[in-house]
């Protein structure tokens, strides 16, 4: 709930600038806001459980580890999606503001939302992974913010370094932003979707490995 | 056999937490699991509940292997971890419903009601767990352990940090449940009050496993009888009885008699009758569990 408000208020100040341009500006800003928002939501999920010993309670219940992780994953992701939902109001206002009303690229808009949710899914998996590594919420928060930033921004920047040439290009391909912008154009490419799903799966499985590390 | 361990071992690096532990617990038994701090009690319990795997050896609960059938074991075991971890910002009812759903209880609402009645949480059920006193938290911990009606209970210090009344209530509850129970504790009276059998480990090694009554025999504790007679007796004659080992005259016709078995009192009474002695007092000295525990687990400190 609070995060929904946070999103609202935070963007409230910018909506006037954005609204006049197009939704695209909002979608450029949203990934950066999510870098702060998602780790804040996920930081507690396993750190607290470890700190207060409730993890032991949880994993000695007749539920598999993967189910516990997926449960946490879906819970966090739902919260993030709920936080994104209020931005639909911007869509409505821009829809009305357009001259004539309704003059908006609806296809690109839905593509962008789809991309944003996939991006949020990736951030969530990174957040869960970082949370499972430490008992300290703050460490989980900062490390997952750093990791999200690395995957969203830094990898993409490598592509712009001339002398790295093809290495930089392929590093760029691994960046989240590359695929996010690809989907934002309104063209949903299976490769991009698979990339996002694979990215999430990789971190979910990594989290499971961290879980099992207590058994080594 | 409900719980069996066979050469169960657990190492943390070089440190041996549990060393070749062999125990067998029958159905319906309430077994006290004793040992000094760091003896490996919690580690053993964690292995039995599938939280950590053993380094070596095997164990089973109700026929399920603790490594391979971990999920099946978690269904039939109710576990109260050490320090009783709970979600402090959840409401009692909410938490128990959550625990019930996790445990695969079908009619969660109804079962939660039953468990709340059973553990005496009725007045506290609408509070947050964080608001509860330690005793009530312990009850919540116990409630979540029994919510899925498990066959076996594994309780790690269920009465730790409670006041005497609460301790008694929790004990009564454990007895009332009547399940196969393995409970760890530091309190000897607890074992005497609740358990039918006691397993003592020290530094990961099994040092005793016996019914409570017979525990004293293990350490070779001596039986003593305190007797006060109406008049002085012939110490020599008394010493000649089969069961009597040694007689100490404590003055005022009081004697402390070391006997070979708990039956020794009988022959002393016979002796008194035969000699027309007035018996003012004739009582066995109880061997305390504390004494046995100390003897079994005391370490020679090389200072």
Give the Å distances, CA to CA, from B56 to A24, A187, A202, A211, B5: 60, 56, 32, 21, 11
Binning pLDDT at 50, 70 and 90, where does residue A216 land? low
What pLDDT shows up at residue A3? Answer: 41
pLDDT in tens, A25-60: 777 778 888 898 899 999 989 999 989 889 989 988
Q: Give the pLDDT confidence score for residue A20 in this predicted structure.
A: 46
Is the Cβ pair B144, A57 closer than 8 Å? yes
Structure tokens that stand for B272 in this block: 């008194």
Q: Which residue has the tokens 């996002």?
A: A196
Q: Cα separations (Å) of B128 from B88, B93, B123, B134, B190?
A: 7, 9, 12, 13, 29
Structure tokens at B113: 């009601």
Å between B102 CA and nearest CA of chain A: 6
CA distance A196 to A175: 10
8 Å CB contact of B144 and A215: no
Contacting residues of B for A54, CB less than 8 Å apart? 85-87
Q: Using an 8 Å Cβ cutoff, are B48 and B22 in contact? A: no
* Contact between chains at A56 and B81 (C-beta distance less than 8 A): yes
B134-B137-B139-B140 Cα dihedral, nearest 10 degrees: 180
pLDDT of residue A111: 85
A18 contacts A90 by C-beta, under 8 angstroms: yes
Are the C-beta atoms of A68 and A104 separated by less than 8 Å? no
CA distance linking residue B53 with residue B70, whole number of Å: 10
CB contact A32 to B (< 8 Å): no
CA separation for the pair B295, B21 (Å, rounded): 20
List, edge to edge, every strand of the sheet that includes B244-249: B244-249, B254-259, B223-229, B279-284
B71/A215 touch (CB, cutoff 8 Å), yes or no: no
* Greatest C-alpha distance within chain A: 65
Mean pLDDT across chain A, nearest whole number?
82
pLDDT digits (tens, 9 = 90+) for A71-109: 999 999 999 998 888 778 777 777 777 666 666 777 778
Q: What is the DSSP letter of A53?
A: T
Min Cα–Cα distance to chain A from B14, Å: 14
Q: Which of A52, A61, A64 sits opposite B85 (nearest CB)?
A: A52
Partner B contacted by A56 (CB < 8 A): yes
**What pLDDT score was predicted for residue B296?**
77
- Report phi then psi at B23, rounded to 5: -135, 155
Tokens of B140: 């919540």
- CB contact under 8 Å between B83 and A53, yes or no, is yes
Residue of A38, A63, A3, A29 lying closest to A130 (CA atoms): A38
pLDDT beneath 70, residues of chain B: 216-221, 262, 286-288, 299-303
Q: What is the DSSP letter of A213?
A: G
Q: How far is B67 from chain A (nearest CA, A)?
A: 11
At a CB cut-off of 8 Å and minimum separation 6, what does B291 contact? Answer: B219, B221
| Token pair listed for B295 | 């003897």
Which chain A residues are Cβ-neighbours of B103 within 8 angstroms?
A: 61-62
Question: Hey, is the C-beta of B93 within 8 angstroms of any chain A C-beta?
Answer: no
A130-144 pLDDT per residue, tens: 999 999 999 999 999
Would you state the pLDDT for residue B303? 47
Angstrom distance (rounded) from CA B260 to CA B283:
15
Question: Hey, are the CB atoms on A64 and B71 less than 8 Å from each other?
Answer: yes
Give A 148-167 residues with CB within 8 A of chain B: none
* A57 closest CA partner among B122, B34, B95: B95
C-alpha–C-alpha distance, residues B103 and B301, integer Å? 46
Residue A161 pLDDT greater than 70, yes or no: yes
Residues of A in contact with B100 (CB under 8 A): none
């Amino acid at each position: 709930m609070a995060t929904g408000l946070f999103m609202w208020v935070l963007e409230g100040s910018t909506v006037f600038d954005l609204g006049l341009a197009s939704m695209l500006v909002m979608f450029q800003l949203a990934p950066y806001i999510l870098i702060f928002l998602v780790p804040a939501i996920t930081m507690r999920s396993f750190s607290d459980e470890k700190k207060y010993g409730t993890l032991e309670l949880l994993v000695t219940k007749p539920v598999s580890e993967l189910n516990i992780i997926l449960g946490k994953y879906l819970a966090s992701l739902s919260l993030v999606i709920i936080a994104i939902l209020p931005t639909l109001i911007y869509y409505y206002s821009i829809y009305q503001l357009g001259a004539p009303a309704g003059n908006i690229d609806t296809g690109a808009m839905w593509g962008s939302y789809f991309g944003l949710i996939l991006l949020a899914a990736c951030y969530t998996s990174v957040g869960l992974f970082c949370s499972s590594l430490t008992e300290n919420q703050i460490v989980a928060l900062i490390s997952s913010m750093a990791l999200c930033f690395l995957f969203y921004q830094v990898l993409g920047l490598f592509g712009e370094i001339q002398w790295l040439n093809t290495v930089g290009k392929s590093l760029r391909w691994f960046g989240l932003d590359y695929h996010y912008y690809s989907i934002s154009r309104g063209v949903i490419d299976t490769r991009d979707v698979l990339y996002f799903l694979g990215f999430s799966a990789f971190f979910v499985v990594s989290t499971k490995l961290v879980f099992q590390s207590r058994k080594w | 056999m409900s719980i069996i361990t066979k050469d169960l071992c657990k190492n943390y690096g070089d440190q041996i937490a549990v060393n070749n532990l062999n125990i067998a617990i029958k159905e319906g038994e309430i077994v006290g699991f004793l040992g000094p701090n760091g003896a490996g009690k919690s580690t053993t319990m964690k292995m039995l509940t599938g939280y950590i795997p053993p380094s070596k050896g095997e164990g089973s609960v109700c026929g399920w292997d603790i490594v391979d059938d971990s999920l099946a074991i978690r269904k039939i075991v109710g576990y109260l971890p050490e320090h009783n971890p709970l979600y402090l910002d959840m409401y009692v009812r909410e938490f128990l419903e959550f625990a019930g759903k996790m445990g695969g209880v079908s009619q969660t609402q109804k079962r939660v009601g039953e468990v709340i009645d059973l553990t005496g949480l009725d007045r506290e059920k609408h509070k947050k767990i964080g608001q509860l006193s330690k005793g009530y938290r312990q009850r919540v911990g116990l409630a979540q352990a029994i919510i899925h009606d498990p066959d076996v209970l594994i309780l790690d210090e269920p009465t730790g940090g409670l006041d005497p009344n609460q301790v008694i209530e929790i004990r009564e509850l454990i007895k009332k449940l009547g399940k196969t129970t393995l409970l760890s504790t530091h309190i000897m009276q607890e074992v005497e009050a609740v358990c039918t059998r006691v397993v003592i480990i020290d530094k990961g090694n099994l040092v005793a496993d016996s019914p409570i009554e017979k525990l004293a025999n293990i350490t070779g504790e001596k039986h003593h009888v305190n007797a006060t007679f109406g008049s002085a007796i012939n110490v020599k004659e008394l010493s000649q009885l089969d069961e009597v080992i040694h007689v100490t005259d404590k003055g005022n016709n009081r004697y402390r008699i070391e006997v070979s078995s708990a039956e020794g009192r009988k022959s002393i009474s016979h002796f008194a009758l035969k000699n027309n002695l007035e018996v003012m007092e004739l009582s066995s000295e109880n061997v305390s569990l504390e004494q046995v525990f100390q003897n079994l687990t005391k370490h020679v400190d090389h200072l």
